[in-house]
Structure 1
Amino acid sequence: MSHVKIEQKTSLGRAETARWLTELAKAIEHGGTVEVPLAGPNVTLSLPEEFRCEAEVEVDGEEVELEIELKWSPGPG
C-alpha cells in the first residue's frame, strides 16, 4: 500500500465526541471494518486482531491534548 495521509480537524460537543468514540470502539470490538467519517467521503479500514497502541497527554498552558494512536499492518489483500 502506498503512503496515504488524510487529516481532519473539527470541534465536537461532549455528546458528539462520546458517540463518535463509542461507534469506533464497537467497530473495533466486533472486528471486520470501520468507516471513519471525514469531511469528504468516509474512509473504510479493515481492522486487525491486534493493535499497537500509544497514548500521550500534553499540557501546555491553557491547552490539554490527549492523543490516542492505533497502528497495525494491513492484512493480505
Structure 2
Amino acid sequence: MSDVEISRTESLTRQQAARLLSALADALSADGKVEVELGSSTLKLHVPDNIQCEVEVEVDGDEVELEVELTWSTASAATVNSAAAVQPAVAKPVRPRAGKAGSARS
C-alpha cells in the first residue's frame, strides 16, 4: 500500500489537456520542481534527473485509454543505482480490464 495517494479525475477539452501536459513538460525540463493543480490545492514535487517512464495504451470497445506513468525513488542516488544494477527490466503484460462502471484513472 502507498504511503500517500492523491487522485483527481476531471473532464478536459483536448486543448486544456495539452496545456496541462505542456506545463508538466516545461517544469520537468527546467529544474524538476513540478506543481500539479488539484482543484483549489497545488501539489509540489521535486523530480530527480533520472526517472522511469511507462506509456500504456488500452483499447476496450469504443474507449481508448492512454496512460503515462512517471516513477522515481526518493532514496539516495547510490541506493537507487545499486538496486537498478541488480534488477533487470521486465516487460509487463497487458492486463484485461473488468467492467468500466465507476472506474476512472488519471
Asked if TM exceeds 0.5, the reply is yes
Structure 1 consecutive aligned stretches of length 4 or more whose deviation exceeds 2 Å: none
Q: Deviations over 1:11-31 (max 9, x none)?
A: 000111110000000000012
Q: Deviations over 1:33-59 (max 9, x none)?
A: 111000241100001001101010000
| Counterpart residue number, 2:24 | 24
CA–CA distance in 2 between the matches of 1:18 and 1:50? Answer: 24
- Secondary structure class of the residue paired with 1:29: helix
Letter in 1 for 2:20: W
| Counterpart residue number, 2:6 | 6
- Structure 1: state its 5+ residue gaps: none
CA contact (8 A) 1:46 1:74 kept: no
The two structures, once aligned, show a CA RMSD in angstroms of 1.5
Equivalent residues in 2 for 1:1-77 (5 A)? 3-74=3-74
Percent identity, aligned pairs only?
48
Higher strand share: 1
Structure number with larger C-alpha Rg: 2
What TM-score do the two structures reach when normalised by structure 1? Answer: 0.89
How many residue pairs end up in the alignment? 75
What TM-score do the two structures reach when normalised by structure 2? Answer: 0.66
- Structure 2: state its 5+ residue gaps: 77-106
- Secondary structure class of the residue paired with 1:37: strand
